[in-house]
Structures are given as C-alpha cells and as structure tokens.
C-alpha cells in the first residue's frame, strides 16, 4: 500500500494511535458530562446512564480496546457482533480514504451506478450459495429486513396472490429496530413500545432446548419446535403466509444454538407450503460460524439472506439482502418499478470498505480457520467452563458461545436451579467481566461472546482464563450475599 500517494502516511497513523493511547489526553468526566447532556444512546435507560457516566472507548487494535482512562479490554463481542477482522486494519482505512477522495457519494437511483457497488454485488454473489445472483443494498440490517418484508409481499402480489401477506417469525428473535425490523423481531420489551408488532407479522416459539426441552432429546425437541411453524401456517391459512424469517443461530436472544434437526425440518415445512424462507444472517454471515453463510452449515436453501455487520466488520455501516433467483426472476420479469430504496443503497465508500474487509477474510483464510481450527478449539476450551459451580450449561458454534449461570448445578442441564430474574445475576457477572477487562454480554443470566475471527489459540486461552477468574469473583460475591 506504500505506493499509493493518497494513503495516509505511516507516521500520521502511528501518531494518532499513540495519542489515543494516552489517557492523559482525555478528560473523561468532561466527556461523560457532555455525553449525558446531549447524547441519547440506543437501548439505554437515559437517567441510569447519566447517573453512572458512559465508558469512553478511544482506541482499538486486534481483539483489544482501550478506554479514555487507559484501561485495556479484551473485546469478546467484536464491538456488536461485527468487527470480524479485528480493530486497527489500516488497509480498510486506506480503501475508505481512497474512495472518499475519488467519489465519496453517488446514488444508485435514476439509472446510475458506481464501481465499488458493482464489484461488491458480484463478489457477494460469488461467495453466496448458488441460488443467489442478485443483491439489494441498504444502510443497515434493520433496513435490510424492512426490504425483505416489502420484497416478499411484492413477490406474491406479482404472482397474483396478494392475500399471501403474513410473515411468520419467532419469539425472542432479533431482526432490527425499525418499525418492520422490531415487528419481525420477537422481543417483548420492544413490542411493548410504539404499538408493535404491525399487522401481518406473527410469532412462534423459539428452539431453545435449555428452556423448553426438559424430558426430551435435543433432536426430538428440534422437531417439536419446527412443528410450531406448521401449526401456525395452518392456523393463519397456508394461502395467506408469505414467508418465514429466522436467524440460523439467535444472537441478541442469547446465542441460542438450535438442535441439528430444527433447520432441515423448517426447510421441509416451507417447501411443503411453498413459503419463502428468509435467513437473517446479519450476525451469522461472513465467517462468524465458520462458513461465509450459516445457511450452508445448517443445510438450508433460503430464498433471501439478510446481511450487515460482518460485511464491513463494522468499519462503515452497510447492509443488504441477497435475493435468490426464485424472487429475483419474478421481480425482474414482471415487476416494473420496485418502489423502494435508500439514499445510501450501494454507498461507494461502504462498498469499498466491504471489498477490502472481504479481501482480508479471504487472504487470511479466517472463515476456514474458524471452521476447522480456532472454532473447534474455542468449543473445546469454552466447554471446560461448564465445570464451574456457577455454570449450568456452556456451548458454542463457530465464534459465538454462551453459558447459563445457575444457582445450583445438576447432572442434567434442565435440572439446574435457576436464579430469580429480579436478582440480576447476569448483570452482576458482567460487572466483574468489565472490571477485569473482559467484554462479555449478559442476556438475562446467559453470558455470551462473539469474538473477532482473528482471535488466536493463545488469545482463546487468555480469554477463557479471564472468564473463569470473573466467574470465581462472581461466585464469591453471590456466596457473600447468601444467594448460592
Ligand atoms: C444487528 C441485527 C440486525 C439489525 O442490524 P442494524 O444494522 O442494527 O439495523 C438485524 N438482524 C440481526 C440478526 C442482527 O443481529
């Protein structure tokens, strides 16, 4: 890259990184005060945050972050499930800089296009399963799922079946935070605000074996959970259902890995009733589960795939929908105008960032590594946490993993005694994790990670040791409270 006259000099990059590492340069209290005064954060209790003050992140490198007080943190969550290639990738900054200098923006409306968007669409199609030959770009995962809703309804309209309008989703799924995204999602807390879900979206139970599979084998539970889809189709009327949407592995819901029998049975039911299948791979795509797309891992053949997050490793916002031939052929041959799109659909800078991000994933063989090296190693090491007295159940898939904190262990995961939700044990545990420099997220009493795909075996060891320490500290705290 040194030959590129538009690239920022190495000295400049180094000086920025170095000054960012100097906590003395930051007045944390002043930043927090200004933050509280003016910045309304997403999914946040504003008053509560204002009382505590936000943690100010200032720098990232590889799998580590530094805050404004100089504290180093191991980022077990890849930012928010997205920084797949890790922080501090100068080649992405350079690709973005070059594109900004050349053409920072042009839209794709009015019969125009731009080079990075064309190259990225072709690249994504080459990486995607064979039934995909087209891409619709958006600015985020939420917008991509909005696009899905409009696209599947348009598809059935064009086929002369406008009554096929309903989309079936699942409780505790996450599909974004726009009106359609939040409606497709199955989060009670979100539905409770703003009159959601909108009409025409219904939900079935999630394939959560730990919660719902007591007394059954995992395989039997997977078939049962899939049968809820057929039940719902018959209840709504098979000729009124447009599509089913699901995350291959539920992310925000708590890293819920479905039984092996679940997805093939869902596919069979969708095929039986001719219903479109949408795989929301905003988290699962781009190597997170050891394949470019998790649909390959679970042996399903979706008609639409939602992507975002890992497509740019979060360096610049970008999302979209991979549109399978079944849908694209109808939209193209019979559609006329599709009256939908965004100012930033196919944003040249975002697409340039994605192309460089994908080049890194390919050149460093990160997807393959997660599949056959670091992913299995994480699985083996993460499972050892299952012996901790506070852990009822620990499992992983590729580079997502989760464990359940329980009051009392039992030989069978379903027989563990749970804490009361009101005790907030997950949040207590998360406090110890952050305090010790480990970013691990709490979903109720399930502690979850989704580390950057660049994490090495040695770093996996470092992370597991850190998690174990924090679990010990949490356990001692709960003992002192008399809760265990
Ligand atoms: C994050 C996420 C979304 C929403 O993406 P945004 O870019 O935040 O709009 C949608 N689906 C899944 C599965 C996600 O994890």
For range 428-438, the mean pLDDT: 98
With pLDDT > 90 as the criterion, what percentage of the chain qualifies?
A: 93
Cβ atoms of residues 434 and 441 within 8 Å: no
R_g of the chain computed on alpha carbons: 23
Ligand 1 probe mutation, 78, 79, 140, 141, most atoms within 8 A of CB: 141
Which protein residues touch ligand 1 with a CB less than 6 Å away?
81, 140-142, 145, 174-176, 247, 251-252, 280, 282-283, 308-309, 319
Q: What is the DSSP letter of 426?
A: H
**3-state DSSP assignment of residue 132:** strand
End-to-end Cα separation, the chain, in angstroms:
56
- Which helix H or strand E contains 19, and what residues bound it? helix 10-20
- d(CA 176, ligand 1 centre) in Å: 5
Going by alpha carbons, the residue nearest to atom 5 of ligand 1 is 141
- Token code pair at residue 462: 């470092």
Q: Scan for tokens 């690249």, then name that residue.
A: 123
| DSSP assignments along 460-484, one per residue | HHHHHHHHHHHHHHHHHHHHHHT--
Give 306's strand partners: 280, 321
471, with CB counted inside 10 A (0-12, 13-18, 19+), is buried
Inter-residue long-range contacts of 181-186, CB under 8 Å, 24+ positions, other chains counted = 181/141, 181/142, 181/143, 181/145, 181/146, 184/145, 184/148, 184/149, 184/245, 186/253
406 and 391 Cβ atoms separated by less than 8 Å:
yes
Mean pLDDT of the chain: 95
Tens digits of residue pLDDT in 353-407: 999 999 999 999 999 999 999 999 999 999 999 999 999 999 999 999 999 999 9
| 175 alpha carbon – ligand 1 mean position (Å) | 6
Cα four-point dihedral sign 320, 323, 327, 328: positive
Q: Is the pLDDT of residue 73 over 70?
A: yes
Best residue among 83, 142, 172 to mutate for probing ligand 1's pocket (most ligand atoms within 8 Å of CB) is: 142
Q: Give the separation between CA 387 and CA 134, rounded to whole angstroms.
A: 47
Strand-pairing partners, residue 360, are: none
Q: What is the DSSP letter of 184?
A: H
Q: What distance in angstroms lies between residue 107's CA and the mean position of ligand 1's atoms?
A: 23
The yes-or-no verdict on residue 21 having pLDDT over 60 is: no
Q: With bands split at pLDDT 50, 70 and 90, how would you rate the model's confidence at 16? A: low
Q: Sorting pLDDT into bands at 50, 70 and 90, what band is 25?
A: confident
Q: Which of 163, 166, 117, 151 is nearest to 137 (CA)?
A: 117
CB-CB contact of 75 with 64 (8 Å): yes
pLDDT at 14 exceeding the cut of 90? no
Helix (H) or strand (E) holding 308: none
CA–centroid distance, residue 252 to ligand 1 (Å): 9
- Note the pTM of the prediction, 2 decimals: 0.95
Could you count the other beta carbons within 10 Å of the beta carbon of residue 482? 6
| Cα 69 to middle of ligand 1, angstroms | 30
CA of 82 to the centre of ligand 1 (A): 10
């Amino acid at each position: 890259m040194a030959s590129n006259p538009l690239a920022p000099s190495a000295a400049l990059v180094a000086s920025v990184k170095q000054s960012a590492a100097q906590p003395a340069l930051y007045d944390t209290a002043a930043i927090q005060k200004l933050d509280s005064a003016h910045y309304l954060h997403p999914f946040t209790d504003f008053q509560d945050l204002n009382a505590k003050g936000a943690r100010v992140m200032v720098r990232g490198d590889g799998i580590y972050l530094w805050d404004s007080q100089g504290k180093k943190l191991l980022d077990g969550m890849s930012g928010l499930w997205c920084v797949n290639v890790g922080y501090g990738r100068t080649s992405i900054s350079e690709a973005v800089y070059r594109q900004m200098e050349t053409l920072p923006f042009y839209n794709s409306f009015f019969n125009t296009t731009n080079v990075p968007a064309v190259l990225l669409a072709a690249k994504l199609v080459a990486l995607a399963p064979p039934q995909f030959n087209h891409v619709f770009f958006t600015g985020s995962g939420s917008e991509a799922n909005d696009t899905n809703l409009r696209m599947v309804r348009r598809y059935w309209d064009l086929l002369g079946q406008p009554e096929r309008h309903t989309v079936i989703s699942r409780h505790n799924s996450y599909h974004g935070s726009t009106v359609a995204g939040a409606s497709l999602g199955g989060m009670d807390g979100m539905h409770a605000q703003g009159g959601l879900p909108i009409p025409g979206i219904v939900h079935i139970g999630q394939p959560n074996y730990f919660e719902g599979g007591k007394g059954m084998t995992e395989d039997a539970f997977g078939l049962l959970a899939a049968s809820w889809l057929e039940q719902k189709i018959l209840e709504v009327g098979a000729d009124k259902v447009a599509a089913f949407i699901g995350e291959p592995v539920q992310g925000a819901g708590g890293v819920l890995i479905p039984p092996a029998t679940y997805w093939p049975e869902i596919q069979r039911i969708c095929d039986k009733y001719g219903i479109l299948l949408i795989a929301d791979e905003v988290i699962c795509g781009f190597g997170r589960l050891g394949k470019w797309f998790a649909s390959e891992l679970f042996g399903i053949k979706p008609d639409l795939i939602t992507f975002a997050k890992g497509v740019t490793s979060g360096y610049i916002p970008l999302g979209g929908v991979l549109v399978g031939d079944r849908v694209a052929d109808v939209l193209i041959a019979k559609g006329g105008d599709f009256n939908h799109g965004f100012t930033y659909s196919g944003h040249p800078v975002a697409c340039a960032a994605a192309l460089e991000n994908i080049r890194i994933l390919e050149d460093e063989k990160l997807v393959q590594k997660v599949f056959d090296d670091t992913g299995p190693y994480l699985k083996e090491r993460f499972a050892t946490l299952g012996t901790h007295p506070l852990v009822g159940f620990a499992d992983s898939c590729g580079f997502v993993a989760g464990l359940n904190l329980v009051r009392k262990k039992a030989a069978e995961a379903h027989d563990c005694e749970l804490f009361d939700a009101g005790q907030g044990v997950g949040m207590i545990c998360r406090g110890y994790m952050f305090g010790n420099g480990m970013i691990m997220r709490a979903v109720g009493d399930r502690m979850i990670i989704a580390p950057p795909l660049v994490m090495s075996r040695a770093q996996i060891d470092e992370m597991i040791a850190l998690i174990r320490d924090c679990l010990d500290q949490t356990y001692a705290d709960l003992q002192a409270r008399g809760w265990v």
